[in-house]
């Protein structure tokens, strides 16, 4: 009975970790994955302070509105003068990095959740192969995001 309880509790914890990872990722990923109806364009990084970079926004569409200043969360590979493809969040001047690097960066919280869940799967559920697959998927996602954003 104790073994079954341990496996059920570990399974519930794994599901909660994965739901939390998706939830944390979805805030940015939805704008990158489904950009239709949102302002797309290019941001030139003018200034980075702390965890936020800002700069002017040039829309991809000629009828869209230019913004003198939009903000973007700072990440690896963002330097002053860099021109990054971005998608603006609706009704704000907050931008999310677009394209492949932006898509991968948006899912970084899920990658961390997968790595964390692999420890629970291995220790609590005693499923070593599943733990290796889960951890490997998380590690691959984190590595791909780091490499793509760094380029």
**pLDDT tens, residue order, the chain (151 aa):** 877 888 899 999 999 999 999 999 998 888 888 877 788 888 888 888 888 888 888 888 776 677 778 888 776 667 778 888 888 888 888 888 888 888 888 899 999 999 999 999 998 888 899 999 999 999 999 999 888 877 5
**Residues 6+ away with beta carbon under 8 Å from 27:** none
- Per-domain boundaries in the chain: 1-35+107-151, 36-97
Record the tokens describing residue 19, joined without a space: 């739901």
CATH number of 36-97: 2.40.50
Q: What is the rounded CA–CA span in Å between residue 95 and residue 89?
A: 6
């Amino acid at each position: 009975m104790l073994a079954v309880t341990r496996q059920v509790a570990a399974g519930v914890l794994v599901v909660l970790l994965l739901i939390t990872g998706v939830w944390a990722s979805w805030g940015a990923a939805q704008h990158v994955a489904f950009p239709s109806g949102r302002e797309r364009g290019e941001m030139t990084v003018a200034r980075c302070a702390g965890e936020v970079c800002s700069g002017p926004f040039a829309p991809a569409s000629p009828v869209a509105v230019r913004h003198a200043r939009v903000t973007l969360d700072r990440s690896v590979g963002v330097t002053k003068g860099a021109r990054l493809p971005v998608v603006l969040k609706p009704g704000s001047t907050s931008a999310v990095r677009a394209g492949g690097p932006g898509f991968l960066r948006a899912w970084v919280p899920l990658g961390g959740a997968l790595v964390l869940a692999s420890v629970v799967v291995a220790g609590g559920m005693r499923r070593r192969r599943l733990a290796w697959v889960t951890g490997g998927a998380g590690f691959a996602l984190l590595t791909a995001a780091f490499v793509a954003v760094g380029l």
